[in-house]
Amino acid sequence: MKDETKDLLAERVDTAAINNDDIVMLTAEHPEMTLEDAYEIQRLSITRRIQRGEDFVGMKMGLTSRAKMEQVGVHNPIYGHLTGTMKRSSGDTIAFDDYVHPRIEPEIAFILGQDLVGKVTAAEAMQAVSGVCAALEVIDSRYTDFKFTIIDVVADNASSSTFFLGDTVLPPELVENLGNLGMVMSVNGEVVETGSSAAIFEHPARSLAKLAEMLWERGEGLSAGMVVLAGGATKAVHLKPGDHVHLEVDSLSTVDAFVE
Ligand code: OOG
Ligand code: MG
């Protein structure tokens, strides 16, 4: 795929995200697009955000649990970039009108205290982690009906739109059983999804190591200070105006997200 085509497609996904417009899958028009083209389009779309003044604050893994893979019909993990404008604190409110068709999912977030570069084991990856917290991620595919191929969703920055971090960030040595923490997500007081951090690539630390490996294969890495979302533990749930989403994760602080 030509560089100028990638530039045009990066502009298309970026503009759709700005205007909350849904768009036709890019592969419908460009069946020749490869996964590497898609990661390049993602990078170009992030460069556009940085040029507008957004900060690059971290990365996310996506499609690391079976429930997530089955919900969207894509069975391989992917990654996306997170910027400062996507970040919220527990208790914050988002506006439904700022999204195309938002969904929310329960996650575990890592804060890196050191750079993490290379093909590492899960235990090695955890040595770079200074903090662990619960998180809610709002995903918002820019594609019509939330339907996509792996190539399309990668080009669309893995549906990234907003993430809420829990108030308490614990050092990893204080989180017993990180690989099997109960996770309960409620909407307006009713439990909608239950799961375990074990569903996230068998252990959230394995997801972090996989991200480092996927980046390493492209000559990239993670830097100290970054946030990393390990991936949704359960399937994602549709949001609507007026929703109050509450997440409880064993040993970690709760996270609340409000929609107006
Ligand atoms: C792709 C993003 C997946 C996760 O945690 O699995 C993701 C999507 O489902 O639209 O964020
Ligand atoms: Mg996610």
Residues in the chain predicted with pLDDT less than 50, given as ranges, are none
Radius of gyration of the chain (CA): 17
φ, ψ of residue 191 to 5 degrees: the values are: -65, 125
User: What local confidence, expressed as pLDDT, does residue 253 receive?
Assistant: 87
Strand order in the sheet with 244-249: 93-94, 255-259, 244-249, 182-187, 190-196
Q: Is the CB of 68 under 6 A from ligand 1?
A: yes
Q: Is the CB of 187 under 6 A from ligand 1?
A: no
Q: Which atom, in ligand 1's list, is nearest to the CA of 60?
A: 11
C-beta neighbour count of 67 within 10 angstroms = 15
φ, ψ of residue 160 to 5 degrees: the values are: -60, 135
Q: Is the CB of 109 under 6 A from ligand 1?
A: no
* Site to substitute for ligand 1 among 65, 157, 159, 201, most atoms within 8 A of C-beta: 159
Q: Whose CA is nearest to atom 7 of ligand 1?
A: 62
CA separation for the pair 130, 55 (Å, rounded): 21
3-state SS assignment for residue 223: coil
User: What local confidence, expressed as pLDDT, does residue 53 receive?
Assistant: 98
3-state SS assignment for residue 164: strand
Number of helices followed by number of strands (H, E) in the chain: 7, 13
Ligand 2 centroid from CA 28, angstroms? 25
User: What local confidence, expressed as pLDDT, does residue 161 receive?
Assistant: 98
User: What local confidence, expressed as pLDDT, does residue 121 receive?
Assistant: 98
Sign of torsion, CA 153 18 162 106? negative
